[in-house]
């Protein structure tokens, strides 16, 4: 069964600094990978997704992620953090043909002024 | 982008009563809808998957007689928490998927508080 591990339940960066949120997956077949963002008391919003096309995926709000098969990773980055980026971020995986999303534990991103 | 709504956004009920939560896809037909539960500061846990016109598939450990799911149309799924108890208090989130697409679109969530 596939799983997702997010390293670091809480990440804190200064405004303007690089954001790096880590995600590793385990899957026996090429996966579909997603990053979602959740603001307080809201549902999830799709940031970006990897579906076996380009390994570098660009998403909304200046975020991007790179699929690295050799490292089984799909880390999320943003060059310059903004205060509005403060939220909970979830990495998720779905195997081709399967229906279910499997979520990581989530990483809370805090932005310091 | 695809929009999914949930109603109500927040509900408070007495222990022993039943609560119905609606999930609607507003601008696309959702052949599959998913119901998740999220406890404070935790990740989303899939409760069940429902396909339009057929019975829902529940995850292990989820009581199907307690959490009734109806996916009566391609734009509406409902979750009914029957005989709710305080331990059922949680944030319930639905998502919807269209056809063979791999992307799920999430509703804004419903916060249930059982007194």
Residues A53-70 have pLDDT tens digits of 788 999 999 999 999 989
What's the confidence (pLDDT) of residue B52? 82
Taking only residues 9 to 68 of chain B, the set having a beta carbon closer than 8 angstroms to any beta carbon of chain A reads 32, 34, 42-44, 46, 49
Q: What is the mean pLDDT of residues B36-47?
A: 90
What's the confidence (pLDDT) of residue A37? 96
**A61 phi/psi in degrees, rounded to 5:** 60, 25
A56/B53: higher pLDDT: A56
Interface test with chain B among A43, A53, A61, by most B beta carbons within 10 Å = A43
What span, in angstroms and rounded, lies between the C-alpha atoms of B102 and A84?
28
pLDDT confidence band for A98 (50 / 70 / 90): low
Sort out which chain A residues have CB atoms less than 8 A from B43's CB and list them: 90, 103-106
Tokens of B100: 């063979």
What span, in angstroms and rounded, lies between the C-alpha atoms of B112 and B3?
22
Residues A4-36 have pLDDT tens digits of 999 999 999 999 999 999 999 987 677 889 999
Sort out which chain A residues have CB atoms less than 8 A from B46's CB and list them: 100-101
Tokens of B6: 């949930």
């Amino acid at each position: 069964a596939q799983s997702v591990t997010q390293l670091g339940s809480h990440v804190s960066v200064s405004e303007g600094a690089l954001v790096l949120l880590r995600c590793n997956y385990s899957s026996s077949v090429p996966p579909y990978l997603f990053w979602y963002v959740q603001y307080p008391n809201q549902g999830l919003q799709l940031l970006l997704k990897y579906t076996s096309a380009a390994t570098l995926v660009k998403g909304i709000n200046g975020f991007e992620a790179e699929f690295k098969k050799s490292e089984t990773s799909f880390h999320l980055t943003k060059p310059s953090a903004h205060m509005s980026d403060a939220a909970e971020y979830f990495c998720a995986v779905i195997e081709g043909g399967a229906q279910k999303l499997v979520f990581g534990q989530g990483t809370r991103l805090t932005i310091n002024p | 982008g695809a929009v999914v709504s949930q109603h109500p956004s927040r509900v408070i009920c007495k222990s022993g009563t039943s609560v119905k939560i609606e999930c609607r896809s507003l601008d696309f037909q959702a052949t599959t809808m998913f119901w998740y539960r999220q406890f404070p500061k935790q990740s989303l846990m899939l409760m069940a998957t429902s396909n339009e016109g057929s019975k829902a598939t529940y995850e292990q450990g989820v009581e199907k007689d307690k959490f009734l799911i109806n996916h009566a149309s391609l734009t509406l799924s409902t979750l009914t928490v029957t005989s709710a108890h305080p331990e059922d208090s949680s944030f319930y989130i639905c998502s919807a998927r269209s056809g063979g697409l791999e992307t799920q679109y999430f509703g804004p969530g419903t916060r249930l508080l059982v007194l």
